Structure 1
Amino acid sequence: MHFQYSGALLPMEKVLRDPIHNYIYIQNKVILDLINTREFQRLRRIRQLGVANMTFHGAEHSRFTHSVGVYEITRRICDLFARNYPQVTPGDGLWNDDERLVALCAALLHDVGHGAYSHTFEHIFHTDHEQMTQKIILDPTTEVNQVLSQVGEDFPTQVASVIAKTYPNPQVVQLISSQIDADRMDYLLRDSYYTGTNYGTFDLTRIMRVMRPYTGGIAFDMSGMHAVEDYLVSRFQMYQQVYFHPVSRSMEVILDHLLRRAKVLFKAGKLTGSFKPELLLPFFTDNFTLSDYLSLDDGVLNTYFTYWRHNPDPILSDLATRFLDRKPLKSVRVTPTTHAIIPTLQDLVAQAGFNPEYYTDTNDSFDLPYDLYDPRSKKPRTQIELMQKDKSLVELSSVSDLVLAITGRTSGDERFFFPKEMRGTSLQGQGEVFAPVYREFMQHIKNDQLIK
């Protein structure tokens, strides 16, 4: 059931200037009202790429800018579908424009549940941004819910079901979440632009023009195969060169260990100092509310880190300093055959005076650029279907040698992180004579062929 939002269209459309899409057009009152909610405005204070700005200094863009970008791509696709593939009879597999509003709202709100420093925070405090997004949409105390409820009593539930991928129309779900969706298309272009790389560029206009609704979701016209190939290669390269960059991952490790150390100290009654991190305490006790969650952003955490720089606990103080002053850990690539050497390396780190629990880590980052549909997998992916002239569908990798070459292949690596000091520190007054522990550490890395 669909509802009409009173005064659905603004008297005059509003625009936001955007470096990726030029203009973002806001035509529906509900969209403008959602943008102006406190929950959505919070996204201005959360970086899209977490700590990646410490590697790519231009990566200061926020979850807010990405979210309005996803909305704009979805709006344009809806326009194309309504113009070129309008539903004639119910169930014909073409686009029912009554779905537009739920699609636009889900696109805009898909990331509203991200926490401070995004994925690192999720990992430490066991939160899930998609679940938090659904809570924000469904909780009657949020401004987001109050705006959506003006559309209709059941409308928040519909929008949340798109995020949960249970909405009955697969076209709407795949607009927001599939192997080629508005979310991925915006973040590849946006992250490429702000990191100053060219890896993530592809022909967005062409891909949107070859998208076609059908009963099972969204397919792509056969004539657009090369544009889809280009998108997948761009995605592969962005993960290799930007998202999995060793320095960014190193700063994530420091951030992770910094927050873990603070939590351990708090539970032991040792998080002393004149400044009490009130807004983090519910997360240290694993007893937080939605309001507690929404009170945090990157700036709040950075303020606590600034105070912890002077904390009497030497580990907390040092990790806060390393994070704020951008002093990344070093890392080497670990393979299945070299994994056994890690305990030895950790022992040497301990001998050098560093607690290996907080100054070492193994971190693996792997991504499947393209994978065939497997209903048995934990999170089955939609596969990319190409539509031929006779309306029959073929799966992309069956007709593209380029995509076949990366199908089912993981990109990324596993790395062992350790303090930079382990690479060799000269003893005072002895010139370039290295302490034995550092020499032994680096000798292991060389002899066991760990890759830098």
Structure 2
Amino acid sequence: MPNEKLPREKVFRDPVHNYIHVQDRVILDLINSPEMQRLRRIHQLGVSSIVFQGAEHTRFTHSLGVYEIAREICDNFAANYPSQRPDDGLWDNSERLLTLCAALLHDIGHGAYSHTFEHIFNTNHEDITREIITSPTTRVNAILRRVSPDFPAQVASVIDHHYPNPQVVQMISSQIDADRMDYLLRDAYNTGTNYGLFDLTRILRVMRPYAGGIAFEPNGMHAVEDYIVSRFQMYQQVYFHPVSRGMEVVLTGVLKRAKELYEAGSVKKEFRPRLLIPFFDQDFTLDDYLQLDDGVLTTYFHYWQRYPDPILSDLADRFLNRRPLKSLPFSTGTEGLLPAMSKAVADAGFDPEYYTAINNSFDLPYDQYDPTSASPKTQIEIMQLDGSLEELSTLSPLVAAITGKVSGDQRYFFPKVMLTPKDDEHWQPAYGEFQRYLAHGQIIDPRINGML
């Protein structure tokens, strides 16, 4: 049957939502599909568990959480804003299953160590999400086709932002959506921080559909403000943490060095990473991609700890045993010092290609809609009592203060040992040069002082 209900509701216990409720056979079958189960083996926050030891949660738990928030929104809309005629701008509950499938599957294309892997091997998790949903070779596609032949394409169009009903699209992807609300609460819970906490119950209560998408009632504006501020703080304190970024630089170096050795034809047979070779060759299939997860890469890193190439073995050891690169922020005033500092790193015996890096991490906590932007953001609308809409930052001085304000920093990464003096005549010149430029940088940019 296209939308068979389960004989009894299935529930999953969850630390954020208490229970995740499943009533539809399609949803339960999607959860049990191999493509969804793979997400149990991919960390939601990548390497952040190296800083926040509780952050062992996965893309799987997050995906179920997004589904649960979307389900609650659909139920609220169906109970309080049911459509009475095609053009009334209220909720058409025939789109419920489509919305829930898109919410559950929105991250299914994420790969091993997610964004770092994408950067090295030029993959795109959004494209692969689309392919998993629409390819007749996947179990996910077979389940979706039970609803209708074009149902997989419809689900993909929601995630692509091309689906014609903006209510459905904005529920999954907007400046305040089921995806962001779940990951903020879930990441805050698992990292042991309070920055990402906000009143989800209140926000869901004041959401309402209208012809142009989703708006919020005026009496819930402060809950929405709190969400915006929580998001801002999570990016600054958790997502942009310099030690996490230092580990990402090491992870990038491991994969980059392994790829370079493979391309040079110098990888010994016993160390050949069979499941990574299609990506080294840039000739991989969807099945190749689905074979990978965090555990597969970590297993290769264990092998590479004993590889005869000193760079690869050292970087693999640094990653497995939590030895991140150190960092300092820099500005346009101090950026000119970085080449000399990298030379000092090289003089100390480190290849700057792998042991120095520049990492830029910036976020826009909230932005007004700009139709001329390459990726215009859907603004948050507050629906007034007369039915008119007011953009959030025009009503909230707090949100206005951070609207359009990019936050984050640029950091220069280098081996921690460059901060440590040694009684070694070969070490002293490089160490002295590095310290000289570091001190000069502190004079030019006082923010560096004390932030190593």
Q: Would you say 1:57 and 2:53 are equivalent positions?
A: yes
**Corresponding position of 1:72:** 68
Q: Would you say 1:156 and 2:152 are equivalent positions?
A: yes
* Structure 2 residue corresponding to 1:91, chosen from 84, 87, 94: 87
1:77 and 1:208 in contact (8 A); partners too: yes
Q: Would you say 1:186 and 2:182 are equivalent positions?
A: yes
Mark the runs of 5 or more structure 2 residues left unpaired by the alignment: none
Number of residue equivalences = 445
Q: How is 1:118-267 mapped onto 2 (pairs within 5 angstroms)?
A: 118-267=114-263
**Corresponding position of 2:287:** 291
Whole-angstrom CA distance in 1 between matches of 2:151 and 2:177: 22
SS in 2 for 1:320: helix
Q: Would you say 1:436 and 2:432 are equivalent positions?
A: no
Q: Would you say 1:308 and 2:301 are equivalent positions?
A: no
Whole-angstrom CA distance in 2 between matches of 1:384 and 1:126: 33
Q: How is 1:362-373 mapped onto 2 (pairs within 5 angstroms)?
A: 362-373=358-369
* Structure 2 residue corresponding to 1:393, chosen from 389, 392, 401: 389
SS in 1 for 2:374: coil
**Partner AA of 1:441 in structure 2:** F
2:50 and 2:244 in contact (8 A); partners too: yes
Whole-angstrom CA distance in 2 between matches of 1:376 and 1:336: 28
Whole-angstrom CA distance in 2 between matches of 1:358 and 1:271: 18
- Listed one character per residue, the Cα deviations across residues 305-338 of structure 1 (whole Å, up to 9, x for unaligned) are 0000000111000000000000010000011111
Whole-angstrom CA distance in 1 between matches of 2:351 and 2:367: 40
Q: CA RMSD in A?
A: 1.1
Q: Percent identity?
A: 65
Q: Would you say 1:402 and 2:398 are equivalent positions?
A: yes
Whole-angstrom CA distance in 1 between matches of 2:61 and 2:243: 24
Mark the runs of 5 or more structure 1 residues left unpaired by the alignment: none
SS in 1 for 2:372: coil
1:424 and 1:439 in contact (8 A); partners too: no
1:113 and 1:130 in contact (8 A); partners too: yes
1:75 and 1:104 in contact (8 A); partners too: yes
**Partner AA of 2:22 in structure 1:** I
Q: Would you say 1:332 and 2:328 are equivalent positions?
A: yes
Whole-angstrom CA distance in 1 between matches of 2:61 and 2:75: 21
- Listed one character per residue, the Cα deviations across residues 339-385 of structure 1 (whole Å, up to 9, x for unaligned) are 11111111111000000000000000000000011112121110000
Whole-angstrom CA distance in 2 between matches of 1:349 and 1:138: 49
Whole-angstrom CA distance in 1 between matches of 2:427 and 2:141: 62
Whole-angstrom CA distance in 2 between matches of 1:276 and 1:440: 39
Whole-angstrom CA distance in 1 between matches of 2:205 and 2:114: 32
Whole-angstrom CA distance in 2 between matches of 1:147 and 1:270: 44
* Structure 1 residue corresponding to 2:440, chosen from 418, 429, 447: 447
Whole-angstrom CA distance in 1 between matches of 2:239 and 2:435: 27
Q: Post-superposition shift, 1:270?
A: 1.1
2:348 and 2:427 in contact (8 A); partners too: no
Q: Would you say 1:32 and 2:32 are equivalent positions?
A: no
**Corresponding position of 1:272:** 268
- Listed one character per residue, the Cα deviations across residues 27-70 of structure 1 (whole Å, up to 9, x for unaligned) are 00000000010000000000000000000000000000000000
**Partner AA of 1:69 in structure 2:** G
Q: Post-superposition shift, 1:249?
A: 0.4
SS in 1 for 2:61: helix
Larger deviation, residues 402-411 vs 270-279? 270-279
1:273 and 1:311 in contact (8 A); partners too: no
2:301 and 2:316 in contact (8 A); partners too: yes
Whole-angstrom CA distance in 2 between matches of 1:6 and 1:237: 43
**Partner AA of 1:387 in structure 2:** M
Q: Post-superposition shift, 1:273?
A: 4.9
- Listed one character per residue, the Cα deviations across residues 49-105 of structure 1 (whole Å, up to 9, x for unaligned) are 000000000000000000000000000000000000000100210000001000000
Q: Would you say 1:113 and 2:106 are equivalent positions?
A: no
- Listed one character per residue, the Cα deviations across residues 130-170 of structure 1 (whole Å, up to 9, x for unaligned) are 11100000000000000000000000000000011000100
1:366 and 1:411 in contact (8 A); partners too: yes
SS in 2 for 1:191: helix
**Partner AA of 2:58 in structure 1:** S
2:271 and 2:307 in contact (8 A); partners too: no
**Partner AA of 1:448 in structure 2:** G
1:424 and 1:435 in contact (8 A); partners too: no
Larger deviation, residues 419-428 vs 102-111? 419-428
Question: Structure 2 length as normaliser, TM-score?
Answer: 0.97
Question: Structure 1 length as normaliser, TM-score?
Answer: 0.97
SS in 2 for 1:212: strand
1:273 and 1:312 in contact (8 A); partners too: no
**Partner AA of 1:182 in structure 2:** A
**Partner AA of 1:178 in structure 2:** S
